[in-house]
Amino acid sequence: MAEDKSDIEIARGASLKPIQEIGEALGIPPASLLPYGHDKAKISASFLGSLQDREDGKLILVTAINPTPAGEGKTTTTVGLGDGLRRIGENALICVREPSLGPCFGMKGGAAGGGYAQVVPMEEINLHFTGDFHAITTAHNLLAAMIDNHIYWGNALDIDPRRVTWRRVMDMNDRALRGVVTSLGGVSNGFPRETGFDITVASEIMAILCLASDPADLEKRLGDIVIGYRYDKSAVYARDLNADGAMAVVLKEAIQPNLVQTIENTPAFVHGGPFANIAHGCNSVIATKAALKLADYVVTEAGFGADLGAEKFFNIKCRKAGLRPAASVIVATVRALKMNGGVAKEALGAEDISAVQKGCSNLGRHIENVRQFGVPVIVAINHFHTDTDAEIDVVKAYTASLGEEAIVCRHWAHGSAGIEELAHKVVAVANSGKADFTPLYRDEISLFDKIETVVKRIYHGAEVAADARVRDQLAEWEKAGYGHLPVCMAKTQYSFSTNPALRGAPSGHIVPVREVRLSAGAGFVVAICGEVMTMPGLPRHPAAERIRLDAEGRIEGLF
């Protein structure tokens, strides 16, 4: 039982296998497995290249209802399901995202699962891990330095310093860096201009790393980045600055997937972690594709609720990478459904049948949405010890009324033993031949029509509100040859609408698109519905104040 132990205590109590052994079991030769300590490794690009002719396993997406402060446990369920599939004798592999280091110092909490369903070593995964985010920070800031350096030495490209859109990044919650003026202090420091820093996960390079198919594609996409505009308003590419090659060198190791294990020794790829807001929020295509070559079942996740995460997983990642998911698990908790049904967080401990019933509308909407992509759905009820049988029965009956099955999972408390039923069901569904994946819209329709399709068919909104500036910008990009790109929606994760307080399953709302951004290297057009925060701040009492090493050199206060 997990209830009397913290996540970190459980993680430290786990009996890990040497990472070489985990790699060997996957058929990775020792020379292709690059260890980082005894419990982490990277898999060499050349080995991945050698897998091309193998058959693919089946891809299972774990997504969720809209997140609430009650917690849903999407990563925990992804990890638990991987363990569960192994337990019932299947060859399964897990693909999740790398957590960002900076936010660890803000609010307490990691992103490596929880209870008896975790990937380990959790402290290292949450901190420097294998250095991927540091490499992305460096590549991003190298390009920034080369831009200002180019302007300093004569600006042969005629870049308009007021129209440099490429900012700098840092993997830190540092609100002071959101808006800065650089190059102060005199002639030798360049031309002062207004710019700012985003957090590293928000870098377009992070999205590029996660969508690239191989190192050559990575370098091509890096060259495609639009860094700003000339005085004549034509786009300037990273390639024009000859920055793409050096950036690819900086990312040479980062593009290789990381292998770790769960506390039950199931192999897990933890690779890439793009912002689920201004990017697509999924782990890397390289890791997912490699996993499909190495295992019969690959369990992966997508950021936030299914309206954002699954939509972008299907419409961006699967479309672009040619992935065909075989089944989808939608995670719900009784507590989160109650919150969707109007209960305050403080009152979640008490049984409330009618609130569960009411909140099920949120689950129902996600079920319908995912079905539109031709991917069969299973509902996982991530069990919490305060859940009553009556409450659970409500969820089961509701799901059954939609023709699907809801299965109670107790992986948090019991590990793989608590999730066998879901594992069996996933195997059955994935092999049923029912899946027939198709993206929601075709490449050929206009960018605006793509946005409208998502708003109407996923958010169930009445219309898109966008002023002429936004529509003109989209039309300009279409003329420039970007019309075939998918759209990457940026919207609050708490609601189908743009109002975070509107839980449940609202419909008929208007979705305002305030701004659009081109990520030419990543290959999508971002539609911003509401405010997007690309650099968080620290809270009044940041976790960093309590984080330290204990007498045995172990980390205290991180989780």
**Among residue numbers 186 through 245, which ones bind a second copy (CB under 8 A)?**
186, 188-190, 194, 196, 215, 219, 241-245
Residue 220 labeled ligand binder: no
Measured from the CB atom, is 196 or 506 closer to a second copy? 196
Q: In 10 A of CB 69, how many CB atoms? A: 11
For position 545 contacting a second copy by CB under 8 A, the verdict is yes
Q: Which window, 130-138, 225-233, 416-424, 491-499, contacts a second copy (CB under 8 A)?
A: 130-138
On whether the CB atoms of residues 542 and 294 are closer than 8 A, the answer is: no
Q: Report in angstroms how near the CB of residue 56 gets to a second copy at its nearest.
A: 25
75 is in an annotated binding site: yes
- Distance linking the first and last C-alpha atoms of the chain: 19
Q: Of 442-501, which residues contact a second copy (CB under 8 A)?
A: none
CB of 163 to a second copy, least distance (A): 16
- Cβ atoms within 10 A of the Cβ of 188, count? 7
Comparison of 143 and 455: residue with beta carbon closer to a second copy: 143
CA 470/CA 460 separation, integer angstroms? 22
Burial (CB < 10 A; 0-12, 13-18, 19+), residue 199, is buried
Identity of the residue, 51 or 127, whose beta carbon is nearer to a second copy in the bound complex? 127
Sheet bearing 226-230, strands edge to edge: 159-164, 226-230, 235-237
Q: Within 10 Å of residue 8's Cβ, how many Cβ atoms? A: 18
**74 is known to lie in a ligand binding site:** yes
The answer to whether the annotation marks 320 as part of a ligand binding site is no
User: For residues 398 and 363, is the Cβ–Cβ distance under 8 A?
Assistant: yes
Smallest separation, CB 161 to a second copy (Å): 10
The length of the chain in residues reads 559
Q: Is 162 in the site for a second copy (CB under 8 A)?
A: no
69 labelled as ligand-binding? yes
C-alpha distances (whole Å) from 231 to each of 63, 159, 224, 234 are 45, 6, 20, 8
* Residues with active-site annotation: 74, 76, 97, 108, 276, 304, 384, 412
Q: Which of residues 315-354 bind a second copy (CB under 8 A)?
A: none
Q: Does 109 bind a second copy (CB under 8 A)?
A: no
Binding-site member from 9, 54, 107, 145 for a second copy (CB under 8 A): 145
| Torsion (CA) 136, 535, 240, 271 in degrees, nearest 10 | 30
Pairwise CA distance, residues 189 & 149, whole Å:
10
9-68 positions binding a second copy, by CB under 8 A: 31, 34-38, 42, 45-46
- Provide Rg for the chain, Cα atoms: 23
CB of 319 to a second copy, least distance (A): 28
User: Of these, 12, 178, 230, 517, which contacts a second copy (CB under 8 A)?
Assistant: 178
Residue ranges with strand state E in 46-183: 58-64, 92-96, 113-114, 117-120, 159-164, 168-170, 180-182
Instruction: Tell me which residue has tokens 């936010």.
Output: 103
Q: Verify binding: residue 370, a second copy, rule CB under 8 A.
A: no
Q: How far is the CB of 538 from a second copy (least distance, A)?
A: 4
Question: According to CB under 8 A, which one of 70, 170, 417, 465 is a site residue for a second copy?
Answer: 170
Q: Which of 14, 127, 235, 417 binds a second copy (CB under 8 A)?
A: 127
Decide whether 143 or 394 has the Cβ nearer to a second copy: 143
User: Site map for a second copy, 498-537, x if CB under 8 A?
Assistant: ---------------------------------------x
Taking the CA atoms of 307, 308, 313 and 316 in sequence, report the sign of the dihedral they define: positive
Q: Does 542 bind a second copy (CB under 8 A)?
A: yes
- Least distance (Å) between residue 137 CB and a second copy: 8
H helices of 95-175, in order, are: 122-126, 132-152
User: How many amino acids of this chain bind a second copy (CB under 8 A)?
Assistant: 79
> Contact with a second copy (CB under 8 A): which of 91, 155, 165, 182?
182
On whether 55 is known to bind a ligand per the annotation, the reply is no
C-alpha separations of 557 from 6, 75, 109, 410, 554 in Å? 12, 21, 9, 27, 10
> Which part of the chain contacts a second copy (CB under 8 A), choosing from 69-77, 139-147, 204-212, 481-489?
139-147
Count CB neighbours of 498 within 10 A: 22
* CB closer to a second copy, 285 vs 558: 558
Q: How far apart are CA 220 and CA 217, in angstroms?
A: 5
Tell me the closest approach of the beta carbon of residue 265 to a second copy, in angstroms. 19
The answer to whether 211 and 321 have CB atoms below 8 angstroms apart is yes
CB of 253 to a second copy, least distance (A): 7
What residues form the annotated binding site?
68-75
What residues form the annotated binding site for ATP?
68-75
